Amino acid sequence: ATPTAIMVGTGKGAEQGILIKGGESLERIQAVRAVLFDKTGTITKGKPELTDVLTVPNMASSEALRLIASAEQGSEHPLAAAIVEGAKVQNIELAAAPEHFTALVGKGVEAHVDGKTILVGTRALLSERGISFAQFNEQMEALEAQGKTAMLAATADSVIGLVAVADTVKPESATAIKQLHEQGLDVWMITGDNRRTAEAIAAQVAIPADHVLAEVLPEDKANQVKRLQEQGYVVAFAGDGINDAPALVQADAGIAMGTGTDIAMEASDITLVKGNLTSVPVALALSRATMRTIK
């Protein structure tokens, strides 16, 4: 690899908002045969909005939303921001900053609101606390089939309702993935979200259901990259979050969204300044062209 060719290649990238760390990164990228995209914040905008609030018969939906949003005030998750914002829009006054707040990574939150425990999160979270939510099963599945993320809410011993948020796909995601398919690459999606929601989002960008890795806990994302590598793929991972850093490092090439966290960018070979996914096929083509010049 001549230093001049690499300078030209990285220079061309930079002009298009594709920051490549150096010659080694450029070389790793050109060998990529599969791209694994994180869902939230990478394929989708990562700015979900509150769409639905359902409650048990003896509770007003405004009261359920007040309890849920109050509990979520302590969370930095984009889902939490959507819920808090949704309550604000409805002029619901939240309780003071929640006491005993705990973020349960990949599952939800637990906090004390008005002195009592409120849980918000996944089926797994309620199940592990022995809380039944059978009365919400059907509605939850229907919301997920629409690509929404539905979260259950409960007190320490019983379910109180369900909130759903919708995160829309970025306008260029489908085009970017189509171009990668045309380049002969295999495209996968990974998420901590449930399988039904994940498949509904994947379908919008033409990622087949058998290329969707759903319900993956944050600490397991790097392992999923490893599994693809063990199947013989040279893997690029594209993500934006703090939780994505180990997967970005494990991948043969790490691609960070410049709109995401610094930690993700530090762990990556490439940063897409504007978080524009069509830069992924451009970067791959650029790296191949640069390496060809060298040979």
| Residues lying near ligand ADP in the complex (CB under 6 A) | 39-40, 72, 75, 77, 79-80, 106-109, 120-122, 149, 151, 191-193, 218
- Least distance to ligand ADP, CB of residue 167, Å: 9
> Any idea what DSSP says for residue 21?
-
Measured from the CB atom, the residue of 38 and 110 that comes closer to Mg ion is: 38
- Our answer to whether residue 240 is catalytic in this structure is no
- Residue 218 touches which of Mg ion, ligand ADP, none (CB < 5 to 8 A by kind)? ligand ADP
Residue with tokens 């990668």: 180
Query: In a 3-state reduction of DSSP, which class is residue 68?
Result: helix
107-136 burial, b at 16+ Cβ within 10 Å, e below that, comes to bbbbbbbeeeebbbbbbebbeeeebebeeb
- Which is closer to ligand ADP, CB of 121 or CB of 275? 121
- The residue with tokens 């060809």 is 292
Minimum distance from residue 183 beta carbon to ligand ADP (Å): 26
Out of 13, 147, 161, 241, the only residue in the binding site for Mg ion (CB under 5 A) is 241
Residue 275 contact among Mg ion, ligand ADP, none, beta carbon within 5 to 8 Å by kind = none
* Using rule CB under 5 A, residue 179 touches Mg ion: no
In whole angstroms, the minimum distance from the beta carbon of 169 to ligand ADP comes to 13
Decide whether 23 or 106 has the Cβ nearer to ligand ADP.
Answer: 106
Q: Of ligand ADP, Mg ion, none, which one sits near residue 143, judging by CB under 5 to 8 A according to partner kind?
A: none
Listed residue (199, 221, 196) closest to 208, CA to CA: 199
For 184, other C-beta atoms within 10 Å of its C-beta total: 7
Three-class SS state of 18: strand
- Sign for the pseudo-dihedral over CA of 177, 247, 25, 255: positive
Phi, psi angle pair for 272, to nearest 5°: -95, 105
Q: Which CB sits closer to ligand ADP, 33 or 77?
A: 77
Binder of Mg ion out of 40, 179, 194, 268 (CB under 5 A):
40
191 contact choice in ligand ADP, Mg ion, none (CB below 5 to 8 Å, kind-dependent): ligand ADP
Question: What is the Cα–Cα distance from 39 to 189, expressed in whole angstroms?
Answer: 6
61-100 mask for Mg ion (x: CB under 5 A)? ----------------------------------------
Q: Given the complex with ligand ADP, which of 29 and 36 has the nearer CB atom? A: 36
Strands (E), the chain: 18-20, 34-38, 49-55, 99-104, 108-113, 116-121, 149-154, 159-166, 186-190, 212-213, 235-239, 253-257, 270-272
Q: Which residues are catalytic?
A: 38
Which residues contact Mg ion by CB under 5 A?
A: 38, 40-41, 241
